């Protein structure tokens, strides 16, 4: 396996060139530096955690040596991208093909020649949109590779951008339109700017919601749930969960693709969200 760098405490210094170090626990890439930091601010937040072995770092070159991305068709016009073996949070990204230009939804830390070739073979990229800070990963590398395409992040999460770039475009408010009817929707909850993507052409025109961690698809694939912190088991209050649910109420969607491999609800997804919200509110004894 590739080496892990434990930061300045080990005195690791790069003599030729400066890599942009990547946190092993959350996958966030920081600006290029002569040595890794002692701290990852994303992991020190209560929604995440510092690993049992302390703060560790890697580089994109190291990832390229020991990991690969599995690209797989999900439905017409949609491809999933998943690192193997699992790395950091373990999320998947999606390439959504569109006549107005392809969109990368969420992001994984590894970008390599095979992945670049697969995406270019499907028409390339015109935009990147990411649900929340745990999936920002190497977003700047992805944008740069595809010609500096814009990276759409909600402005409420600006403080969690560890590597800024001219390609980052902060949007505000509750919704932002993309091409071909796609819409970014702020749900909040897990993060203040936690966002989802509605794809009306998906599921054979019945609509798809890409929910990230904002609406989390359960392992049973028959329910969803909501959390402030998933690894630390901190729930959300009932009013916030209602707000998340109301944010997607105006949209037609029969299918949800969640953040993790095989976490999709193939049909009846909007009704699943409604039932799951009722269950959650009963569990926290919120409301009547």
Domain borders along the chain are 1-66, 67-283
Q: What confidence tens digit (pLDDT) does each residue in 214-273 have?
A: 999 999 999 999 999 999 999 999 999 999 999 999 999 999 999 999 999 999 999 999
Tell me if residue 143 falls in helix, strand or coil: helix
pLDDT of residue 16: 46
Rounded average pLDDT over 6-24: 62
Q: pLDDT tens digits for 225-236?
A: 999 999 999 999
N-terminal to C-terminal alpha carbon distance within the chain? 54
pLDDT tens sequence across 109-167: 999 999 999 999 999 999 999 999 999 999 999 999 999 999 999 999 999 999 999 99
Task: Give, in degrees to the nearest 5, the angle at Cα 71 between 68 and 75.
Answer: 165
Q: What percent of the chain has pLDDT over 90?
A: 92
- Given the structure tokens 């890697």, which residue do they identify? 58
Q: How confident is the model at residue 285 (pLDDT cuts 50, 70, 90)?
A: confident
List residues bridging with 105 in a β-sheet.
94, 129
- Using 50, 70 and 90 to split pLDDT, how confident is the model at 12? very low
Q: Residue 176: beta bridge partners? A: 184
Query: Residue 10: which pLDDT band, with cuts at 50, 70 and 90?
Result: very low
Please check the confidence at residue 25 and state whether its pLDDT lies above 50.
Answer: yes
Model-wide pTM > 0.85: yes
Band the pLDDT of 3: cuts 50, 70, 90.
Answer: low
pLDDT of amino acid 63? 98
pLDDT in tens, 58-112: 999 999 999 999 999 999 999 999 999 999 999 999 999 999 999 999 999 999 9
- Backbone dihedral angles phi then psi of residue 202, each to the nearest 5 degrees: -70, 170
Beta bridge partners of 92: 82
| Residues ≥6 apart with Cβ < 8 Å to 288 | none
| CATH of region 67-283 | 3.60.15.10
Return phi, psi of residue 22, to 5°: -120, 130
pLDDT tens, residue by residue, 139-148 = 999 999 999 9
The pLDDT, as a whole number, for residue 287 is 60
């Amino acid at each position: 396996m590739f080496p892990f760098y434990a930061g300045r405490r080990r005195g690791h210094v790069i003599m030729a060139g400066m890599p942009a170090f990547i946190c092993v626990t959350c996958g966030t890439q920081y600006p290029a530096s002569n040595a890794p930091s002692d701290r990852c601010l994303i992991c020190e937040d209560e929604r995440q955690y510092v690993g049992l072995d302390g703060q560790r770092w890697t580089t994109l070159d190291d990832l390229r040596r020991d990991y690969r991305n599995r690209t797989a068709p999900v439905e017409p016009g949609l491809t999933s991208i998943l690192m193997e073996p699992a790395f950091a949070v373990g999320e998947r990204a999606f390439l959504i093909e569109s006549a107005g230009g392809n969109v990368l939804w969420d992001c994984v830390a590894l970008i390599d020649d095979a992945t670049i070739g697969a995406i270019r073979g499907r028409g390339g990229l015109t935009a990147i949109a990411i649900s929340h800070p745990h999936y920002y990963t190497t977003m700047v590398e992805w944008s740069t590779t595809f010609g500096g395409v814009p990276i759409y992040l909600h402005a409420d999460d600006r403080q969690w951008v560890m590597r800024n770039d001219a390609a980052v475009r902060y949007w505000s408010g509750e919704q932002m339109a993309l091409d071909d009817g796609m819409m970014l929707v702020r749900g909040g909850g897990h993060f203040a700017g936690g966002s989802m993507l509605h794809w009306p052409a998906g599921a054979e025109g019945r609509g798809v919601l890409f929910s990230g961690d904002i609406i989390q698809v359960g392992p049973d694939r028959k329910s969803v749930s909501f959390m402030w912190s998933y690894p630390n088991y901190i729930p959300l209050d009932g009013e916030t969960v209602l707000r998340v649910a109301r944010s997607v109420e105006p949209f037609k969607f029969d299918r949800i693709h969640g953040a993790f491999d095989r976490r999709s609800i193939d049909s009846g997804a909007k009704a699943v969200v409604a039932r799951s919200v009722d269950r959650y509110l009963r569990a926290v004894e919120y409301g009547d």
